[in-house]
A and B are shown apart, each in its own frame.
Chain A
Amino acid sequence: MISLDGRDVRVPLELSSDVVVVGSGPAGAMVARTLARRGIGVLVVEEGPFVTPAEMPADSFSAMASLYRDMGASLMLGAPPMPFVQGRVVGGTSVVNGAISWRLPEDVHREWVAADPALSDALPYRELDALFDEIEADLGIHPTEAEIAGPNNLLLAKGAEILGLEHRPISRNVRGCRGLGRCLQGCPEGNKTSMDRSYLPDAVRHGARIVCNVEVTRVVHEQGRAVGVEGVTPSGARVRIRASRAVVLAASAVQSPVLLIRSGLQQGPVGRGFSAHPGAAVAGRFREPVRLWEGATQGHEVIGLRKERLKFEALGYDMTLVAARTKGVGASLVRDLEDLAHFANWGVAVRARAEGVVRAGPKRAIVTYSLEREDLRTTARGVKVLCEMMLAAGAEAVFPGIYGWPERVTERTALADLPAPSDPNAYTMAVTHMFGTCRMGSRPADAVVGTDFQHHAIEGLYVADSSVFPTNTGVNPQTSILALAAMCARHVAAR
């Protein structure tokens, strides 16, 4: 599938194409596939390697080392300091996510249109809906079957049911999933229809080329028009790729604005308006074995509190990360490890109100992002609900993971009067979904790209990823990213 591996390039290289797409995750893959199917020459440039299913590692360290940006340890500066997790591999984050698929909620779409009425025509929901239908058919998106869910998911269903919270099996982009619990390390059987297994091969069948292990460092623009990109291979060789029709950035809400800034394109609020879904997790000990590293990694969700900006998911980690959730060290930690099969782990994603900034550091993106007081209260509420669901489902003990709360809780009544700590550092959180740093909008002063996804100041330069989202979504964004990227590709094709 790969036309060129940057590891094999040790001398300066020049390439050309009609369109250059930077990034091979959902946005880049959809743009490449849509354009290639229309007979347009496409070259996709990916910073990470190409990894086959057989090469997907089982343990967290090996997976993080080979598939994740910065080993999954990219850190946001702020309160609390949070890691943000991104794939760095052909297929992008779709290779290492839980395959959760959600349509953009209509209420979120209404918010977007209310903020900028021009989006009503640019992103009509009816058109998005039709794209969601196509994407769901293409990727085999369907609710997780009970037979492969495994106890970690089924216990979440039980807890939510007892508390009367709306819940359902998660719709995932998988085909033939056997519930190996390996989504976050990359499916070793290739059963997740991540981009490397779906849209990218389709794009290649229609003539697209993929270059891996080349980091794009700059968008080349001349007289107000994008004409290509420059990049570098692991050995330091320069790669210059000319684009006769367009350059499309699809490198994520962290990397795309950095590329613009490094290219001298500071127009509009580039890098500002960063929003996200910070998440917290709760572990619980059950009498019966849970073995949460088996079964669908993320197969069940609780959606009854979405209006409170909370969404809950079963979270089947590799045993390394489960063990890190336990409280002790030494003999106590080893006892927990021997007992690890009895632990469940669930997470809450918060549709945070906070906004941050992405800047270009000397070598890396610098993300500053601090949660608002209201976000902390929402998080504490979410953690409390997770604990209540776990105890309702039969957990002998739960471990809330908020500093200042009891380390171990065995009764729901013990949770009732716990206040939300005002110290952000009392919370242990991580971020997976990121948005808004090259915001779409009709007014150049308020937006980086126009309603046609084209940069307000540079002709032929497009942004296709979740950078363009006006707000966070409160739900897993992959399907929304795919749909908007398809719309972006139509504009590029119409040039």
Chain B
Amino acid sequence: MLRELITDSLREVSTRVHRAAIAATAPSGWTATERAWSEALFAALLPAEGRLPGLATLDLDAFWVRYAEVAPPMLRFGLRASVDLLALSPPFVLGVPHTVLGLDAAAREALLDQALRSRVFLLRQLATTVKLVGLMAYLRDPGVRARVGEGS
């Protein structure tokens, strides 16, 4: 368990360096680890599939700037807590000794899916918060809106 968590932490350091070179993936003020967790969860929530781009490939700078301006404290706290707790939840939800960064793409998706369907209300709320904010960011993109709107 400890070795796995150390491995995850090292992975987070490399992720941090990588993240510095690309667009913002989380609200300002979050730690680099939280930003990496956030990106992992949002990428698992909305991966590139079919004719739609993945959430992680969109430029979300403007979204997070506006979010920081207008989101009420309870939502800001709720999103951060949701990301933190979900990222640390794999041992309890999936029974594996990893943070979300130690999971492959399929397991990350399974984590979110099981959280959404959990009999524990708090867990359902955490996943719902991540899903709602992720969808707000995703469907703010004019290109995505156009493609979803074209569907028939």
Per-position 1/0 for B24-45, Cβ under 8 A of A = 0000000000000000000011
The answer, yes or no, to whether A111 is at the interface (CB within 8 Å) is: no
Known: A71-B71, A340-B151, A341-B152. A330 touches B45 (CB 8 A): yes
Which residues of A have CB within 8 Å of B44? 329-330
Query: Are B148's CB and A338's CB within 8 A?
Result: yes
Give the residue name and chain of the B residue nearest to A337 (CB). B148
Which residues of B have CB within 8 Å of A137? none
The answer, yes or no, to whether A3 is at the interface (CB within 8 Å) is: no
The answer, yes or no, to whether A52 is at the interface (CB within 8 Å) is: no
Contact of A320 among B75, B128, B136, B150 (CB under 8 A): B136
Query: Are A330's CB and B124's CB within 8 A?
Result: no
The answer, yes or no, to whether B12 is at the interface (CB within 8 Å) is: no
Contact of A339 among B45, B46, B70, B151 (CB under 8 A): B151
Contact of A329 among B45, B148, B151 (CB under 8 A): B45
| Total contacts A-B at CB 8 Å | 111
Which residues of B have CB within 8 Å of A338? 50-52, 148, 151
Question: Of residues 121 to 135 in B, which have CB atoms within 8 Å of A's CB atoms?
Answer: 121, 124, 127-128, 131-132, 135
Question: Of residues 319 to 349 in A, which have CB atoms within 8 Å of B's CB atoms?
Answer: 319-320, 323-324, 327-335, 337-342
The answer, yes or no, to whether A75 is at the interface (CB within 8 Å) is: yes
Which residues of A have CB within 8 Å of B72? 70-71, 73-74, 364
Q: How far is the CA of A364 from the CA of B73 in the complex (A)?
A: 10
User: Chain A contact residues: over half helix, strand or loop, or mixed?
Assistant: helix
Question: Of residues 272 to 313 in A, which have CB atoms within 8 Å of B's CB atoms?
Answer: 289, 291, 293
Query: Are A329's CB and B131's CB within 8 A?
Result: yes
Query: Are A334's CB and B149's CB within 8 A?
Result: no
The answer, yes or no, to whether A62 is at the interface (CB within 8 Å) is: yes
How many of chain B's residues touch chain A, expressed as a range? 35 or more
Per-position 1/0 for A16-41, Cβ under 8 A of B = 00000000000000000000000000
The answer, yes or no, to whether A59 is at the interface (CB within 8 Å) is: yes
Contact of A331 among B74, B109, B116, B151 (CB under 8 A): B109
Which residues of B have CB within 8 Å of A291? 149, 152
Q: Spot the interface stretch: B3-11, B13-21, B96-104, B137-145.
A: B137-145
Known: A289-B152, A319-B148, A329-B45. A324 touches B132 (CB 8 A): yes
Known: A327-B116, A341-B151, A341-B152. A333 touches B45 (CB 8 A): yes
Contact of A59 among B69, B75, B140 (CB under 8 A): B140
Which residues of A have CB within 8 Å of B67? 65
Whole-angstrom distance from the CB of A255 to the nearest CB of chain B?
15
Query: Are A330's CB and B109's CB within 8 A?
Result: yes
Which residues of B have CB within 8 Å of A339? 151
The answer, yes or no, to whether A198 is at the interface (CB within 8 Å) is: no
Query: Are B152's CB and A59's CB within 8 A?
Result: no
Give the residue name and chain of the B residue nearest to A80 (CB). B121
Which residues of B have CB within 8 Å of A289? 151-152
Query: Are B121's CB and A61's CB within 8 A?
Result: no
Q: How far is the CA of A337 from the CA of B124 in the complex (A)?
A: 21
The answer, yes or no, to whether A425 is at the interface (CB within 8 Å) is: yes
Which residues of A have CB within 8 Å of B71? 71, 73
Query: Are A324's CB and B74's CB within 8 A?
Result: no
Q: How far is the CA of A337 from the CA of B148 in the complex (A)?
A: 6
Which residues of A have CB within 8 Å of B152? 289, 291, 341-342
Which residues of B have CB within 8 Å of A329? 44-45, 109, 112-113, 116, 127, 131
Query: Are B131's CB and A337's CB within 8 A?
Result: no
Which residues of B have CB within 8 Å of A330? 44-47, 109, 112-113
Query: Are B70's CB and A319's CB within 8 A?
Result: no
Which residues of A have CB within 8 Å of B116? 327-329
Contact of A340 among B49, B63, B148 (CB under 8 A): B148
Query: Are B50's CB and A319's CB within 8 A?
Result: no
Question: Which of B49, B52, B63, B124 gathers most chain A CB within 10 Å?
Answer: B49
Query: Are B131's CB and A324's CB within 8 A?
Result: yes
Give the residue name and chain of the A residue nearest to B120 (CB). A425
Question: Of residues 168 to 213 in A, which have CB atoms within 8 Å of B's CB atoms?
Answer: none
Whole-angstrom distance from the CB of A334 to the nearest CB of chain B?
4
Contact of A319 among B112, B119, B149 (CB under 8 A): B149
Whole-angstrom distance from the CB of A345 to the nearest CB of chain B?
14
Whole-angstrom distance from the CB of B143 to the nearest CB of chain A?
12
Q: How far is the CA of A342 from the CA of B148 in the complex (A)?
A: 11
Per-position 1/0 for B74-107, Cβ under 8 A of A = 1100000000000000000000000000000000
Whole-angstrom distance from the CB of B35 to the nearest CB of chain A?
20
Whole-angstrom distance from the CB of A7 to the nearest CB of chain B?
14
Which residues of B have CB within 8 Å of A61? 63, 66, 136-137, 139-140
Sample (24) of A-B pairs whose CB atoms are under 8 Å apart? A61-B136, A61-B139, A62-B66, A64-B70, A71-B71, A73-B71, A74-B72, A75-B74, A289-B151, A320-B140, A324-B131, A328-B116, A329-B44, A329-B113, A330-B46, A330-B109, A333-B45, A333-B131, A334-B52, A340-B148, A341-B148, A341-B152, A403-B119, A407-B117
Contacts A58-B145, A329-B45 aside, 8 further interface pairs with beta carbons under 8 A come to A73-B74, A324-B135, A329-B44, A330-B45, A334-B47, A339-B151, A340-B151, A364-B72
Binding site for B on A (CB under 8 A): 58-62, 64-66, 70-71, 73-75, 289, 291, 293, 318-320, 323-324, 327-335, 337-342, 364, 403, 407, 425
